[in-house]
A and B are shown apart, each in its own frame.
Chain A
């Protein structure tokens, strides 16, 4: 047995040596594909694309996802339901609700008085899209937009719902969409990360819902694919700034010496990974220039700043972040993820949503038109939307039914979370402009036509990037994971 065994080894060894030339290539690729060796030779680089992606010609090269955190009310913004105004104060018929799950916040409410939109609606453009008076700028560009009025989700509370939108799973732990794209497609540039995150706080409900850094986490993918938060603080990326005692020239000199000394160590230990880490330092150094350059909007012309509205100059606002998003896209960052907090109007909705809508109206429209005038909208996808919608009935502070109408008239009501239908819109890269998809019933409670599930949206977004969502997988703990779990259907109807 032993002899046989040795023979086997020797025999194979000879074969191996004969093939060495071919083998090494194969092995190098093998190790790149190895999920347990996340070491890649060049961070943020084109080389990291080893998945044979895209699967087919992409329409989108980059994406700006304008996440409206908290759940914007579709009834007051996009999904025009005159019937709700007519039936104001009347209880939602049980035949419509059909015992559907409510959150703990209204499940104790004894009645569900319908409330109409807090603002009037108008039709805009050639597509005659209905948009509320809360969003006049968005209304004016609605011929560029593709509304999906039949979005629906599975989660009814913020944490699981936002996590679901960003990662395809309600429970934390999976990679976010930006990380998936970074993993699948690699980077378009060598000076900035693939996946950048910008946060802003709305005026609608400043003390609303929190966010979590795991929303832009890489989950089980390599941390090369994590979202990098660009902040309005003095250090836009954590630890970006040199200490005061060190000038840029001095940093350069230090890195030159560092690299020489590291090469000595590479020689000593024969460890090829050292040169990889040298290149990380070079990338870090480039970011020290490229990030502040991007964050600096002082050379934006006056008319551009005006386009984005009065807050464009105020760092950390949604408007300022929209300008940054455009700049990042111009520099070929793949995925720019904005989060605008404050859409969780459980009370005083008419007052709160006014400010909240005002935060985003002009800058969002400006961003889309700015991308268009620069020829970037053709291959940049813009998505605007939150984690769920809101109820067509009011959420009341009081449970006295006789008081309902008076309370509603006084604007002292909110709307609760509603996962069964809500509206988002998209623009750019391969999406039909001036188009509206899906339909809800006349009380805006259920979808009656063309439902789009969160996984469908994710599948469709990946499709625009030339990715078959069923084929872009990552094997972790023995299972092939996808952004869309085991669901999702590309909605070709909304695509050009």
Chain B
């Protein structure tokens, strides 16, 4: 038997239930009487685990008044600590939880009490405990009420790889963890994905572009054992890999080409973006990738490259609005860096503790400002001038630097140097104070730099940003590795093992496969944070290579496909949708880096909302020539009016750090695919290419279909497409074929990854 019950495989039912706990809370007003309760009541887990069953309930329903926030704590009672749960009540008449006589626990009395003035939670909280939740709390208390530290604060240890029955299905240890759940829950395994679908999946996932028909054919014809593995290596070594990874990092880094407030003037940050692409392409290990971005400037004898990386924390919005109080905004920037870094590195909603101690997680108001102090010493201005494209601190990179050792910066021939923002400490370090209610003008107690104790104390006096970066990679840090492997997992499977990649705290989801999460986390560290190696392990797993065909009986048992018994179909991202259309049509200009470009966008979108300012961004002036058809990661990002065809497909606005995009289907998306002139032009261009081939109509249709969707059409599909072509052919063959192309570009499959 394993020592730690936490590593217990959580059976299907508990998982479903946790899911319910997490989702039903969104509207508890109605969950008391809906049919889901029938299921919930029938599924009280046999073994109640504090972290998985109890804490989600008491966090969500009790912590707001009886949690970490000392200022709002009612009745001097806290339920977020072990002592608190077993303490005497304020009137000393009873114990909150009475371990000796559990039925005498005050907590039980309160949650079951019929009198509204006694029962908990009180009506004014607008929170309700469902009968099911009460039963769980009751059972947990009656069975000894064992408390545990929050799951994600316990350092991950390498779990042993589980034994499975169907050993043939396993390609690498990831599959053991996945298959064990599938087998235990009597789900069926899925077949291997068809090769032509698999190649499209892995192309988009690794380089964000579709395979050409020739590349598909080469793969289909390669029957060697290493065909797929070679393909993966080729993609990981492609320069487009860095672009794909960077497009995700841009959301996280809230990258933009403008300052983001009010008149929203232009800024220069693209050299930093070029560095990100370069870092991914050269497989800079994750610990260095992060350390340089957080504290590259503080590394002894820092190289220019290391300083350039710190641009990460200057991507927040900066105001130019006359009349603001600079210090108010400067404190906003410091808070942004604090919140962003915490979200990316710890998966914690640190920002909740900016105004008061966190209501759910063990992060005090003081600890927030302890983190804040790391980012509070930048030699920066709260209010910058209208003409400032790279407010201080900044760095200038000359052509000479580039020729010497910064070759990854793609400086246009027309300019000889470029200046952009980076981090640099002030000479006289600022003192940091707790800000009452987060307000810049309400400093109270002075604080030292520090990290959240509940996660891991830093134990260095006067620690700085570099110490903080090192702390993230401390062997004892329980969060860093879990958070990053979860985000990477999400990149391939759509949903993380923890479905809330931005919240590993009390209110976040629990991992659906905790053993796998920990195995991945520990293995990633053992592999020296080697991102490409990690990704290769994922994409060469059977789990990744299985069919995306929905297995109906599996879906009934596991509607969310939490156990991944088939590959989850996913829509292409905003960048991929446009890049796919450009690439398949032949219009794409595949060139790495350089200043952001302005492809087609409808006229007037910027002019309509500008005031008197706006400078070079008052009017959208499209680029010319090849810059109209560059990959979407290079599209100019004006933060207050982001590119519409990106936003329509769920891109982040880049106002704040985002680690997960939405996944919606809207009519505006359909309209964009139907009518965006850029896409119409691509369709026209592709039609021209194929129409002039000296092949039969059927073969033209096949070629068109394969070019756009990557798949060979079935006979029925060819027949339908041919019929459409005939129906629409009123004498002009090309016109009819062009309509066919537009149709194919609108197929659902065209916007799907797998």
Contacts and interface: CB of A to CB of B under 8 A. Distances in A.
Given A210-B263, A258-B743, A478-B349, 11 more contacts: A1-B1, A13-B185, A158-B262, A213-B640, A214-B655, A238-B644, A253-B724, A254-B724, A284-B671, A475-B507, A477-B349
B540 interface: no
A254 B739 contact: yes
A36 B508 CA distance: 11
B738 interface: yes
A37 B23 CA distance: 10
B4 interface: no
B616 interface: no
Contacts of A9: 11-13, 184-185
Contacts of B507: 475, 477-479
B609 A211 contact: yes
A159 B748 contact: no
Contact of A38 (B508, B662, B669): B662
Nearest to A281: B670
Interface residue range, chain A: 35 or more
A98 interface: no
A103 interface: yes
B559 A257 contact: no
Interface in A205-237: 205, 207-214, 217, 222-224, 228, 231, 233, 235, 237
B463 to A, nearest CB: 27
Given A19-B39, A233-B603, A477-B502, A213 B667 contact: no
B610 A210 contact: yes
Interface residue range, chain B: 35 or more
A274 interface: yes
Interface string B547-575: 01111100111011000000001000000
Given A105-B323, A238-B644, A241-B675, A477 B612 contact: no
B415 interface: no
A474 to B, nearest CB: 7
Nearest to A262: B748
Given A241-B675, A245-B735, A283-B667, A29 B612 contact: no
Nearest to A269: B549
B720 interface: yes
A246 B739 contact: yes
B60 to A, nearest CB: 8
B650 interface: yes
B332 interface: yes
Given A26-B35, A208-B612, A258-B743, A8 B665 contact: no
A274 B666 contact: no
The residue in A31, A36, A262, A283 that gathers the most chain B C-beta atoms within 10 A of its C-beta is A36
A471 B126 contact: yes
B746 interface: yes
A88 B42 CA distance: 76
Contacts of B322: 103-105
Interface stretch (B25-33, B212-220, B241-249, B690-698): B25-33
A269 B548 contact: yes
A241 B676 CA distance: 9
B688 to A, nearest CB: 14
Contact of B671 (A51, A237, A480): A237
Nearest to A1: B1
Interface string A243-277: 10110001101100110111011101111111011
Contacts of A228: 668
Interface in A28-53: 29-31, 33-39, 43-44, 50-52
A22 B640 contact: no
A91 interface: no
A208 B322 CA distance: 12
B164 interface: no
Contacts of A257: 720-721, 723-724, 743
B503 interface: yes
A284 B673 CA distance: 11
Contacts of A269: 548-550, 569
The residue in B35, B608, B653, B724 that gathers the most chain A C-beta atoms within 10 A of its C-beta is B608
A240 interface: yes
B747 A258 contact: yes
B419 interface: no
Contacts of B746: 254, 258, 281
A35 B480 CA distance: 25
Closest 4 CB pairs of A and B: A478-B507, A207-B612, A26-B36, A270-B550
B46 A8 contact: yes
A490 to B, nearest CB: 15
The residue in B317, B323, B602, B665 that gathers the most chain A C-beta atoms within 10 A of its C-beta is B665
Nearest to A8: B46
A475 B25 contact: yes
Interface string B242-267: 00000000000000000011111000
